[in-house]
Amino acid sequence: MSELNVPSQQPSFAPEPSVRRPLRIAIFGFGTVGSSAARILVESQPEGLELTHVFNRGVARKRVDWVPSSVEWSEDAEAVLSSDVDVIVELAGGLEPAGSWVRRALNAGKSVVTANKKLIAYHGIELERLAAAKGGDLKYGAAVAGGIPVIPGLEQGLAGDRIERVEGILNGTCNFMLSKMEEGAEYAAVLATAQARGYAEADPTEDVGGFDARAKLAILMRLALRAEINPEEIVPKPITEISAVDFSYARDLGCTIRQVARGERSGEEIAATVGPMLVAQRSPLAWSRGTENMVVLSGRYGGNVVFSGHGAGGNPTAVAVVSDLLALAHGSRRVDIPSTPGHVGAEFEVPHYIRFRVVDRPGIVAEITGALAKEQINIRAIVQKSGYPQEALPFVVTVEPCKSSALSRALENIRTMDCLLDEPLDLQMLE
């Protein structure tokens, strides 16, 4: 293998400056991922990469002794941005001020490596154009499924296919919580555990509400389905309404429950959704446990490709960051996958699981099935497990593939029934 610094082995069109001297790297945001990335750079000393700056607010309290003394610690973003660094590693997250830093760096012809899914989901196309126009590069392999090389896989290994569907477990917090609930715990208890372990925030809405997964899905949809969509067009469904009884019913149906993000494209028809779904126990999506992530891509030519591993956490995410830096140092440019603006308009036609909780009385099943029949929805099974009290009886209806809109109309009617104790829980079933 050629050594990075041996010019005779370098092809004539390698990007000269990055080969000649190491890339000078500034890390913006020295939290879990930032310090893991710094540690890999210091420990592994990958050829062609030199950490020169660390920016953080109140940087004094962040300083660590294992970073070489040559590294400049700064709390002045402007000073670092106008220094001679080649690459900004943006790990602060959120739209601002991260977005301004990234734009300033790209405008100055620097390259940017970021793990910021929100920034890329909302502004990725604009930022890529800016990078291309100014001669820098923008890499965000860490933004989706951190340690799993889904983005490089899509850009480099699957660009020759036409991906028609993407399904992913993209939020480790939800996966941790749901795989704990699979073992029998209730929602509130697993949320408390997740918070105690640092997997979930004090306000867990971003994760459990599906907003984090939605941003990641929007990024994957652009690279996989080649559709530029506004993330807000994807309406996420929270996992908060899932209870232990649903896992018990799911098991009887040969399934478990996962937060799944899915997008599908057929011509200009685009469907996308995020939320808890029933997945077959034998399907790849059921393999992911704990905080793991998984992505299944279905290509017209190559069939299904599955990626799985640790999607988040300091070290796995830092691997993606350092890999992006190495790609920059080696002059390995992104393969620009052409994409066009699109809108989420189509609906999935899949079977559904609907769980009701009722005060039992005669005629309930007749009324529910009548409302479904009115919308031409065929019932697959009605399941009622024993052992629950008559005054709060959970039971489940599964239906053959139908559009969500038809089912919503049926549920609108069913909701008026006086015996219902709470909102019926409607979950898509993936087969």
The residue (of 320 and 411) whose beta carbon lies closer to its own copies is: 320
Least distance from C-beta 108 to its own copies, angstroms? Answer: 14
Residue 247-286 contact track with its own copies, rule CB under 8 A, x = bound: -------------------------------------x--
Contact window for its own copies (CB under 8 A) among 232-240, 241-249, 323-331, 421-429: 323-331
How many residues belong to the site for its own copies (CB under 8 A)? 81
First-to-last CA distance in the chain?
45
Q: Which of 143, 320, 396, 410 binds its own copies (CB under 8 A)?
A: 320
**What is the bridge-based pairing of β-strands 393-403 and 379-383?**
antiparallel
Report how far residue 223's alpha carbon sits from residue 239's, in angstroms, rounded to the nearest whole number: 27
Contact window for its own copies (CB under 8 A) among 156-164, 171-179, 232-240, 367-375: 156-164
The residue (of 4 and 429) whose beta carbon lies closer to its own copies is: 4
Using rule CB under 8 A, residue 11 touches its own copies? yes
Report how far residue 284's alpha carbon sits from residue 261's, in angstroms, rounded to the nearest whole number: 14
Residue 289-308 contact track with its own copies, rule CB under 8 A, x = bound: ----------x-xxxxxxxx
The residue (of 191 and 295) whose beta carbon lies closer to its own copies is: 295
The residue (of 111 and 273) whose beta carbon lies closer to its own copies is: 111
Report how far residue 142's alpha carbon sits from residue 27's, in angstroms, rounded to the nearest whole number: 14
Backbone angles phi, psi at 384, to 5 degrees: -135, 115
User: Of residues 216, 237, 374, 385, which has the active-site annotation?
Assistant: 216
Report how far residue 218's alpha carbon sits from residue 227's, in angstroms, rounded to the nearest whole number: 9
The torsion defined by the Cα of 349, 258, 314 and 235, in degrees rounded to 10, comes to 40
The residue (of 330 and 403) whose beta carbon lies closer to its own copies is: 330
Backbone angles phi, psi at 232, to 5 degrees: -70, -15
Active site includes 374? no
Using rule CB under 8 A, residue 321 touches its own copies? yes
Q: Which of 21, 129, 374, 385 binds its own copies (CB under 8 A)?
A: 129
Q: Omega before 97 cis (within 30°)?
A: yes
Contact 371, 356 (CB under 8 A): no
Using rule CB under 8 A, residue 309 touches its own copies? yes
Least distance from C-beta 62 to its own copies, angstroms? Answer: 20
C-alpha pair distances (Å), 193 with each of 173, 188, 204, 248, 293: 11, 9, 12, 21, 19
Active site residues: 216
